[in-house]
A and B are shown apart, each in its own frame.
Chain A
């Protein structure tokens, strides 16, 4: 049986044994697993652990194993975005976050399964097959960082990295009962993250507790001149872990509890808000009038950016190549054979939205609606400190349930995409169960104010038992 361990638990184990033994135990657990959370493990993991043992505990993550989403470039280790079009691709460089992790002594366990090119809410569009939710293996783990969440929930890694374009860290964190953070846009460098929708996405950590999220952020956050959107300001994440929410003002957007929100989810979230009241916080209803349009604006912008970002995958420089008499034929065949259906749909829709005659109708209009959504956040967060609501409107759904109807899958992202449009930070923490499945409480803050949402999440965790709930059967 795999164990749920925090970073401090892992460090205690290392001090009694060694980083090498701890890493070997994780690799053994992964080898026995049947949830399909990893796309590959790293051959050099044991070597990294031995190096950490030689360093005798130096570094914030010395000897601590971590799982990495398969769209984050890792030198010498396969990185495929779970797509056939990058089959066999081994990056010649490390992403900024990987450089930082290595500098602090972390041990890379392997790459985690994901929706192809991070496009999805269920990890069903991976070329490696679906990852199973450790709470109920007939259900999806959420997406697109489903593998990263599932391996933490199953005790196959203490911490992991995902990426969040429209909720892709928070959704699987909620479905798998772990903690997941989407930082402020620009707080973590995207250098080395294979782009899907670059104005929306952020790399974010997943873990079993808020303290570990703060530790990983202290390692990966900060300025990087190689990413022109990287923010040049100092942030100390662990300093925000204070068990005190007295005088915290919470706003509860009524639009986040609309039609389609599961009764059990609503109850768990409202109970959590009640708990904050007991702890000395106050709450009031707020209105975010443009929430209704955020989803359409998000998908228009994301697909438009995807059509441009994915243009580089044509079989020339990396991945498989299908022959053709000229470049156009070669590229068109390669892309038709190697992109999955969901990726093709999004690239086609994005190309259509950007094509002559439609740019103003779709793309420009969506960018203007984005301004209004951003203003909703600015207005609401001028009178309260944080916003709270359900991360996902429902608990994890069954595998195959939504796969044939893309629109119904897109609709489940209604509570997570507005934050990506406006760049604000948000965290999902476990807040109870609905029909035996985890429910996520989403806490949203002002831009660059991770400190307040992490303090709120930490205080909740210290005063409740929700993060102690575990999947009953971890294989």
Chain B
């Protein structure tokens, strides 16, 4: 059973604010899904390699050629806060 404190910690890692009432609800619902995931323990995977993706493709390279990028004005059109041609964000540290 995942605890309310663990839900809040995972919320911090995932950058999602979780209030007390929601944390209780999530603890119950996430626990039932995690219990379900737990059935994977029944499978013997000794010596089995993981499959990260199914495409039969490895190491895709291209020539290092400069290509046009998106127009600055178009990109800035979608931000909630812009200044002097940049996206303005609150401080990170």
- Give the interface of A toward B (CB within 8 A): 88-90, 92-93, 185-186, 199, 225, 228-229, 231, 290, 293, 296-297, 299-300, 307, 311, 314-321, 323-333, 335-336, 339, 344-345, 347-349, 351-353, 355, 362, 364-372, 374, 406-407, 410, 421-423, 447
**Assembly CA distance A447 to B43 (angstroms):** 25
Residues A327 and B92 in contact, CB atoms below 8 Å apart: yes
* A326 near B78: Cβ-Cβ < 8 Å: no
Chain B residue, CB-CB nearest to A422:
B54
CB distance from B89 to the nearest CB of A (A): 5
How many of chain B's residues have a CB under 8 angstroms from any CB in A?
A: 52
Cross-chain contact B16 with A368 (CB below 8 angstroms): no
In the bound complex, do residue A344 and residue B55 qualify as a contact, i.e. CB atoms below 8 Å apart? no
- Indicate which residue in B14, B40, B51 contacts A371 across the interface (CB closer than 8 Å): B51
- Subset of 7 A-B contacts with CB under 8 Å: A93-B70, A199-B54, A299-B37, A325-B90, A347-B16, A348-B30, A370-B51
In chain B, residues 50-86, which have Cβ atoms closer than 8 Å to a Cβ of chain A? 50-57, 60, 62, 70-71, 74-75, 77-81
* Inter-chain contact B45/A90, CB cutoff 8 Å: no
Question: Is B39's CB under 8 angstroms from A296's CB?
Answer: yes
Which of B40, B71, B78 lies in contact with A365, CB distance below 8 A? B40
Q: Is the CB of B16 within 8 A of A318?
A: no
Bound complex: CA A329 to CA B36 (Å): 33
Q: Say whether B50 contacts A330, CB under 8 Å.
A: no
**For residue B19, which residue of chain A has the nearest CB?**
A336
Known: A355-B10, A406-B29. 5 other contacts (CB 8 A): A339-B16, A348-B16, A370-B51, A371-B48, A372-B43
Across the A-B interface, the 5 shortest Cβ-Cβ residue pairs: A423-B54, A367-B50, A92-B74, A336-B17, A368-B45
Cβ of B21 under 8 Å from chain A: no
Q: Contact: B54 with A407, CB < 8 Å? A: no
Cross-chain contact A370 with B78 (CB below 8 angstroms): no
Question: Once the chains bind, are A316 and B79 in contact (CB under 8 Å)?
Answer: yes
Asked whether any CB of chain A lies closer than 8 Å to the CB of B20, the reply is: no
Q: Are A372's CB and B14's CB within 8 A?
A: no
Interchain CA distance A300-B62 in the complex, whole Å: 32
Interface residue from B29, B48, B90 paired with A327 (Cβ < 8 Å): B90
| CB-nearest residue of chain B to A411 | B36
Are A319 and B54 within 8 A (Cβ)? no
Cβ–Cβ < 8 Å partners of B55 in chain A:
185-186, 229, 231, 423
| A345: B residues at CB distance < 8 A | 26, 29-30, 33
